[in-house]
Amino acid sequence: MTSALPRSRRLARKAALAFAALVAAAAAAAGALGWTGAAFAQTTTITVAANGDDANPGTLASPLKTIQAAVDKATPGTVIQIRGGTYAPSINVRVNANGTASAPITMRAYGTEKVVIDGENMPYTPGAVGSSIPRADRGALHVEGDYWRFEGLEIVHGPYGIFAVDANNNVYDRLITRDNYESGLHIQGASANNRIVNLDAYGNRDPRKNGESADGLAIKEGSGTGNTVIGARLWNNSDDGFDAWEFLSPIRIEDAAAWGNGYNHWNLPDYAGDGNGFKMGGGDVDPPANHVVVNSMAWKNSAHGFTDNGNPGSLQISRSTAWKNGKTGFDFDSSTSKLTANLAVNNAAPVALGASTGSGNSWDIKSSWVDADLANTGTSVVTGARAADGSIASTNFLVPENYPNLGATFV
**pLDDT tens digits, one per residue of 360-369:** 999 999 999 9
Assign 30 a pLDDT band (cuts: 50, 70, 90).
very low
pLDDT at 13: 41
Query: What percent of the chain is predicted at pLDDT more than 70?
Result: 90
* Predicted local distance difference test score (pLDDT) of residue 108: 98
Of the candidates 249, 194, 203, the one whose C-alpha atom is nearest the C-alpha of residue 227 is 194
Backbone φ and ψ of 326, nearest 5°:
-70, -20
Q: Looking at the domain assignment, is residue 97 inside a domain?
A: no
pLDDT of 73: 97
- Report the alpha-carbon angle 293-402-232, nearest 5: 25
Give a yes or no: residue 47 inside a domain: no
Domain assignment present for residue 407? The answer is no
Integer CA distances (angstroms), 15 to 77, 215, 293, 367, in order: 35, 32, 19, 30
What is the SS3 string spanning the chain? Answer: CCCCCCHHHHHHHHHHHHHHHHHHHHHHCCCCCCCCCCCCCCCCEEEECCCCCCCCCCCCCCCECCHHHHHHHCCCCCEEEECCEEECCCCCEEECCCCCCCCCEEEEECCCCCEEEECCCCCCCCCCCCCCCCHHHCCCEEECCCCEEEECEEEECCCCCEEEECCCCCEEECCEEECCCCCCEEEEEECCCCEEECCEEECCCCHHHCCCCCCCEEEEEEECCCEEEECCEEECCCCCCEECCCECCCEEEECCEEECCCCCCCCCCCCCCCCCCEECCCCCCCCCCCCEEECCEEECCCCCCEECCCCCCCCEEECCEEECCCCEEEECCCCCCEEECCEEECCCEEEECCCCEEECCHHHHCCCCCHHHECCCCCHHHHCCCCCCCCCCCCCCCCECCCCCCCCCCC
C-alpha–C-alpha distance, residues 193 and 153, integer Å: 21
Q: Is residue 60 part of a domain?
A: no
Model pTM above 0.85: yes
Q: Which residues are CB-neighbours of 89 under 8 A, at least 6 positions away?
A: 66, 67, 68, 121, 122
Query: Structural domain tally of the chain?
Result: 1
Contact present, 246 and 283 (Cβ < 8 Å): yes
pLDDT in tens, 203-262: 999 999 999 999 999 999 999 999 999 999 999 999 999 999 999 999 999 999 999 999
Tens digits of residue pLDDT in 177-201: 999 999 999 999 999 999 999 999 9
Residue 374 lies in a domain: yes
Q: Is the dihedral of CA 402, 403, 405, 410 positive or negative?
A: negative
User: Where in the sequence is the domain holding 132, given as residue range(s)?
Assistant: 7-40+125-383
Quick check: is 105 in a domain? Answer: no
Give dist(CA 368, CA 382) in Å, integer.
25
In this model, does residue 344 exceed pLDDT 80? yes
For residue 19, report the phi and psi dihedrals to the nearest 5 degrees. Answer: -65, -45
Give me the sheet containing 257-259, strands edge to edge. 85-87, 115-118, 153-156, 176-178, 200-202, 233-235, 257-259, 297-299, 321-323, 343-345
Residues identified as active-site: 279
148 located within any domain:
yes
In this structure, are strands 171-173 and 242-243 parallel, antiparallel, or unpaired? unpaired
Indicate whether 86 belongs to any domain: no
Which amino acid is residue 345, in one-letter code? V
In whole numbers, what is the pLDDT of the chain averaged over residues?
A: 92
Give the domain CATH number at 129.
2.160.20.10
